[in-house]
Amino acid sequence: MSRNTSAGPFADSADGTADGTAARRTGRPRSRAADEAILAATRAALAELGFSRLTLGDVAARAGVAKTTLYRRWPGKSELVVDAVADLFDKLELPPGGGSLEADIEEVILQFAALLARPEVRTALMAVVAEATDDEALRARIRQAIVDRQKRLVLQGRARAQERGELTPPADPRQAEYEADLIFDTLAGAVVHRALVSCEPVDTPWATALATLVTQGLRPRP
Amino acid sequence: MSRNTSAGPFADSADGTADGTAARRTGRPRSRAADEAILAATRAALAELGFSRLTLGDVAARAGVAKTTLYRRWPGKSELVVDAVADLFDKLELPPGGGSLEADIEEVILQFAALLARPEVRTALMAVVAEATDDEALRARIRQAIVDRQKRLVLQGRARAQERGELTPPADPRQAEYEADLIFDTLAGAVVHRALVSCEPVDTPWATALATLVTQGLRPRP
Amino acid sequence: MSRNTSAGPFADSADGTADGTAARRTGRPRSRAADEAILAATRAALAELGFSRLTLGDVAARAGVAKTTLYRRWPGKSELVVDAVADLFDKLELPPGGGSLEADIEEVILQFAALLARPEVRTALMAVVAEATDDEALRARIRQAIVDRQKRLVLQGRARAQERGELTPPADPRQAEYEADLIFDTLAGAVVHRALVSCEPVDTPWATALATLVTQGLRPRP
Amino acid sequence: MSRNTSAGPFADSADGTADGTAARRTGRPRSRAADEAILAATRAALAELGFSRLTLGDVAARAGVAKTTLYRRWPGKSELVVDAVADLFDKLELPPGGGSLEADIEEVILQFAALLARPEVRTALMAVVAEATDDEALRARIRQAIVDRQKRLVLQGRARAQERGELTPPADPRQAEYEADLIFDTLAGAVVHRALVSCEPVDTPWATALATLVTQGLRPRP
DNA sequence: CATTAATCGAGACGGTACGTCTAGTCTTCAG
DNA sequence: CTGAAGACTAGACGTACCGTCTCGATTAATG
Could you tell me the residue ranges of all domains in chain B?
9-76, 86-218
Taking the CA of residue D48 and the C1' sugar atom of nucleotide F17, their distance in angstroms comes to: 18
C186:D186 CB<8 A: yes
Instruction: Give one word for D27, left, alpha or beta, with left for phi > 0 and alpha for psi -120 to 50.
Output: left
Does A35 or D172 have the greater pLDDT score? Answer: A35
Interface check C85 vs D, CB under 8 A: no
Touch between chain D and chain C: 3 or more Cβ pairs under 8 Å:
yes
Compute how many other C-beta atoms are within 10 angstroms of the C-beta atom of residue B159.
12
The per-type count for chain D, helices as H runs and strands as E runs, is 11, 0
3-state secondary structure of A72: helix
3-state secondary structure of C8: coil
Give the mutation candidate from A49, A193, A202, A221 for the B interface (greatest B CB count, under 10 A): A193
pLDDT per residue as tens digits for the range C67-92? 999 999 999 999 999 999 998 999 99
> DSSP per residue over B136-150, as a string?
HHHHHHHIIIIIHHH
Between residue 15 and residue 54 of chain C, the positions with Cβ below 7 Å from nucleic chain F are 25-31, 34
| A24-33, B81-90, B140-149, D63-72: the lowest-pLDDT one | A24-33
Q: How far apart are CA A56 and CA B175, in angstroms?
A: 47
Taking the CA of residue C137 and the C1' sugar atom of nucleotide F18, their distance in angstroms comes to: 29
The predicted pLDDT at position A125 comes to: 96
Q: How far apart are CA D189 and CA D101, in angstroms?
A: 19
D221:C220 CB<8 A: no
Taking the CA of residue D171 and the C1' sugar atom of nucleotide F12, their distance in angstroms comes to: 70
| N- to C-terminal Cα separation, chain D | 61
Beta strands in chain B (DSSP E): none
Burial (CB count <10 Å: 0-12, 13-18, 19+), residue C180: middle
Q: Are C57 and C69 in contact (CB under 8 A)?
A: no
Residues in chain B: 222
Q: How far apart are CA D126 and CA D50, in angstroms?
A: 11
Among 1.10.10.60, 3.40.190.10, 3.30.160.250, 3.40.50.720, name the CATH number for the domain at B9-76: 1.10.10.60
**How does DSSP classify residue B168?**
P
How many cross-chain Cβ pairs, A to B, lie less than 8 Å apart? 136
CA distance D70 to chain C (A): 22
| N- to C-terminal Cα separation, chain A | 60
The sign one gets for the Cα dihedral D48, D51, D52, D58 is positive
D193:C192 CB<8 A: yes
pLDDT of C187 strictly over 80:
yes
Mean pLDDT computed over every residue of chain C:
88
Confidence of residue A24 (pLDDT cuts 50, 70, 90): low
Tell me the average pLDDT across A49-77: 98
A200:B191 CB<8 A: no
Triad A42, A46, A51: Cα angle to 5°:
115
Q: How far apart are CA A214 and CA A102, in angstroms?
A: 8
Confidence of residue C173 (pLDDT cuts 50, 70, 90): confident
3-state secondary structure of C52: coil
Nucleotide with smallest C1' distance to residue A26 CA? E10
Interface check B216 vs A, CB under 8 A: yes
| N- to C-terminal Cα separation, chain C | 60
> Homologous superfamily of A86-218 in CATH?
Tetracycline Repressor, domain 2 (1.10.357.10)
Cβ neighbors of D15 (< 8 A, separation 6 or more) are: D22, D24
pLDDT per residue as tens digits for the range C151-171? 999 999 999 998 998 888 888
> Homologous superfamily of D30-73 in CATH?
Homeodomain-like (1.10.10.60)
Q: Are B115 and B88 in contact (CB under 8 A)?
A: yes
Chain centroid, CA D4 distance in Å: 22
Taking the CA of residue C58 and the C1' sugar atom of nucleotide E10, their distance in angstroms comes to: 35
Interface check C217 vs D, CB under 8 A: yes
Tell me the average pLDDT across A166-191: 91
| Chain A environment of B178 (Cβ under 8 Å) | 209
| Closest protein CA to C1' of nucleotide F7, residue | C28
Share of chain B above pLDDT 90, in %: 67
Between residue 15 and residue 54 of chain D, the positions with Cβ below 7 Å from nucleic chain E are 25-31, 34
Taking the CA of residue A177 and the C1' sugar atom of nucleotide F20, their distance in angstroms comes to: 55
